[in-house]
Structure formats: C-alpha cells, structure tokens
Homo-oligomer: A and B are copies of this chain.
Amino acid sequence: MGKENLTLLTDFYELTMMQGYFKNNTNERVIFDVFYRTNPSDSGYAICAGLEQVIEYIKNLHFGEEDIAYLRSLKIFDEDFLSYLTDFHFTGDIYAIPEGTVIFPMEPLVKVVAPIIEAQLIETAVLNIINHQSLIATKASRVCYAAQGDGVMEFGLRRAQGPDAGTLGARAAVIGGCIGTSNVLCAKYFNVPALGTHAHSWIMSFEDELTAFRIYAELYPSNATLLVDTYDTLRSGVPNAIKVFRELKEAGKMPKTYGIRLDSGDLAYLSKRARKMLDEAGFTDASIVASSDLDEYLIDSLKTQGAAIDSWGVGTNLITSKDCPAFGGVYKLAAIEKNGKFIPKIKLSENPWKITNPGDKTIYRVYEKESGKVKADLIALTVEKYSEDETLKLFDPIATWKKTNLKGGSYTLRELLVPIFVKGECVYTSPSVMDIRAYCQKELDTLWDETRRLVNPHNVYVDLSIDLYQMKHQLLNSINNGNGHI
C-alpha cells in the first residue's frame, strides 16, 4: 500500500512488447486512453476511483536488482534491454478524471502520453487499480442511494478477494458513500472511521447472553450496540438488550449511542417487532443496525416494506460487487507521434460501439445552467475550442439524426481531465479519502434522479464532437477496403 514495488505487476506480454519496441528502435510518443464500455450492475453511471494508488505506482516504478535477475533467468530478454530497464522511470504525461467524479462509458478516464515502451508497461497495473476501485465505488454509491441517507458501513473484509481487495475496496466504498469500514488497516491508512462492535463469538464465550451484553455495555459506555440474534432474536436477544439498557438508565449511565444489531432472519419482520419492543420500553432513540447479505436491491425492498432499520452493514455483495465483479476498463492506443504530430489510431470491431475513438481527446461535461444537472458529456479533440456563449450542437454518435442544440448561456462546460504527471513529474495532490467522499456526494447531486435509480436508469449521452466524429469516420473508411463489412 504505497511502499511496495509493483513494477512487475504487469502482463508478461507488456515486457516482450517493450523489448520488441526497444530492439526495433521504436519508441515514439503515443496516446493510450483508459475507458470502459458499460456501467457495472446496470447502473446509469459509474464513479471513478483509484487515482491515488495509480500515482503511487507510477512514482515507485523501478526495476530492482531482484526484478532484473528474475527477468534474466527467463532467458528471453537481452542484456541491452535489461540494462535499459535498470534505468527505467516514467517520463510521460498523465491526465485523469479526479477520483469521486461521476463517469460514463467511452470517456477517457486516464490518458497516458508517453514513449510507447513506458506507456506499454503501465497498462496492466493502471487498469487493475482503476477497474477495481471504480467498481467498488460505483457499487457503494448504489447501496447508499438505496439506504436513503441512512449510514452504510463497509463490512466485507473477510469475503474480499485478498488483502488489497479488502483494504483498497473499503477505501473505494467510502469514496462511493459509506460512512466508514470495519477494516482497521484501511481506517488507519486512509484516515476513515473504523466501525463495529462485537460478534456472535463474544456472546458465546460467556455463560449467557445477558452477561455478555452487560459486560460489553459496561466496557464500551459510549457505543452499546448489542448483537441480538445469537440464540433467539425476539425471545432472548431483544429482551436481554432492553434489560441491559434499563440497568444502564437506572444507573445514570445511558450510552450516547446504543441499540441492537440484527444479523440474520427476516430483517423486515424482526426490525419492526424489535422497534416496537424498544419503543414500548421507552428506548425510542435506540438504533437498529442490520447486516446479513445486503445489497442495494434488498435494502431498497426493506425500505419499501417499512423495515425499522436506521443503519446498514454491507459486506460480501459490496466488497466484491457480487452481481458484476469486474469493471471492464480497457487501455487502447489512440495516437502515435510522427514528426512531432499525433497520428490518430483506431481499433476496429464488428460492433460499432466497440470501435475506439482515435486522436488526442478531452472531455467536457455539459451542465444545464439553471439546474446544475448534467446534460451530456462531449468527447472532443484537445485542439478544439468551445465557448459557453455559443450554441453547442450535440448529436448521438451512432444514431446521428438524434440532435440537440444548446443555446449559448443555457449551459456550462467543465473539462474533466486534469494533469496528473507532466514529463514524469507528479503535479497533482490527491485529496483525503473523506474529502473525495464529500466531492463524490456533490457529483452525485449533479445527476438527475432518473439516472441514479437502481433499475432501468436513464443513460446520460456521451457525444462526440463533430471534428472527432469526422476524423473517426475518415479513418474507418480508409481502413475498410469495401470487400464486405469489417
């Protein structure tokens, strides 16, 4: 986490290609774009995350002696190339969309402008980091949306796909809206709240549940949230919890925060019954925390059913993004510099929407001025200039007859990509995770409810500028020789 050397965290073919370019004296500057094609979990948007770890990775890039010795042992790399690697460091430029920003398909999230040997090496790790954290941040934003403002706690470490998935995943979950995590390592590294109280084993290690509750509440007078489902939630757990709350009240030791946690059974039924029991005993401010295989759909359903739950602990389904455990970010060549000029490149596919966007691009987010909501995104060439005073012509890049003209003054533009590295030097300081979280909440507010909803959301248009569209189609026509569909 920050200090480890991840230089060999790359696909083997990156290294064979690097040696190929090296031996062929091919090291032109190129542009690679990181983008994705489909929002995860049928979402109407995604949240980008992971940039801080990409920055650390790039800063720490170097081949140590052990790495070189290992590569030499494979008997596929020549000494001149290994000697080049010994002095390797990243000298290029990187632009990226800041973490916590709402993003849409086909937009360059990260743009790498660097000699091809360097740009090729970093492909795999950059994708790994951005794909993972963007996936979990997106999922978290959906879970928090379903919770309608209740606190959502990230509880998934034990089911995460390894230590990093637990720790960096929890970081991303907080960016996406969780109020904190059970993962202490994450809480320490990223200065986010560490959350949790006790497990069934605490209860089971005492002679009886009441004793376990009593001792816990005595030890932690500031937060007595008692887990009530070890033996029988309504006949044992809740009555014992109420007994302990009464004792604390009588002793004048009422905790600031207190309540119960339900971790199994029918959460709608149990929470309503438990709420009634707590209220009748006078503990109307006792909170009810729920956990147990929750996701955005189940929370949404529990809300609809009127479940009396104030706070949510979400584990497996969030930390693995269970219904969609991979974010399909790719890293595609967009241009190669020849004689000081970037020549656009395109990757074909039989599916029109899978064809890449060529050239040196940037993204403008178009906001409706009146509401501050996102109207569309516009991918344009960096050489193009836009003015908010002029009419902005937008059109669907596949169904080109679908057009919108935005009058000057009715919209605002914001360029999403910001410089992160310039000539190998980092020029960007990552905000704290809690600051990224706050920024992300504002970002989500720029979306229409129709885009945020969990099912069948309204998709935001991501349009191409006229110049980019024309460049793309000229390239397509020049490649396709007319002997059939490509």
Show the binding face of A for B, using Cβ within 8 Å: 1, 4, 6, 8-17, 19-21, 23-24, 26, 28, 30, 32, 66-67, 70, 74, 76, 116, 120, 123-125, 127-129, 131-133, 135-136, 155, 157-169, 182-185, 187-188, 194-202, 204-206, 215-216, 219-220, 222, 230-232, 235, 264-265, 316, 320-322, 325-329, 331-333, 336, 345, 347-350, 479, 483-484, 486
Nearest B residue to A225, CB-CB: B13
Chain B residues lying within 8 Å of A235, measured Cβ to Cβ, are 483-484
B124 touches A158 (CB 8 A): yes
- Total copies of the chain: 2
B161 touches A135 (CB 8 A): yes
Q: Which of B155, B201, B215, B333 contacts A333 (CB 8 A)?
A: B201
Chain B residues lying within 8 Å of A15, measured Cβ to Cβ, are 184
The docked-state distance in angstroms from the alpha carbon of A168 to that of B265 is 34
The docked-state distance in angstroms from the alpha carbon of A183 to that of B32 is 21
| 18 CB < 8 A contacts A-B | A4-B4, A9-B167, A10-B185, A11-B158, A12-B187, A16-B220, A20-B216, A26-B206, A76-B220, A128-B166, A135-B161, A159-B328, A160-B161, A161-B164, A162-B168, A204-B333, A264-B349, A322-B325
A20 touches B184 (CB 8 A): no
A24 touches B219 (CB 8 A): yes
Q: Which of B11, B12, B316, B345 contacts A326 (CB 8 A)?
A: B316
Nearest B residue to A172, CB-CB: B162
A11 touches B159 (CB 8 A): no
A8 touches B184 (CB 8 A): yes
The docked-state distance in angstroms from the alpha carbon of A155 to that of B347 is 21
A163 touches B161 (CB 8 A): no
Chain B residues lying within 8 Å of A70, measured Cβ to Cβ, are 188
Q: Which of B9, B196, B197 contacts A157 (CB 8 A)?
A: B9
Known pairs A164-B164, A326-B316; A127 contacts B184 (CB<8 A): no
The docked-state distance in angstroms from the alpha carbon of A325 to that of B167 is 17
Q: Which 5 A-B pairs have the closest CB atoms?
A: A13-B196, A162-B164, A164-B164, A325-B325, A127-B158
The docked-state distance in angstroms from the alpha carbon of A339 to that of B486 is 78
Q: Which of B12, B21, B129, B345 contacts A195 (CB 8 A)?
A: B12
Q: Which of B20, B132, B184, B350 contacts A162 (CB 8 A)?
A: B132
Q: Which of B4, B327, B348 contacts A231 (CB 8 A)?
A: B348
Known pairs A76-B220, A336-B205; A184 contacts B11 (CB<8 A): yes
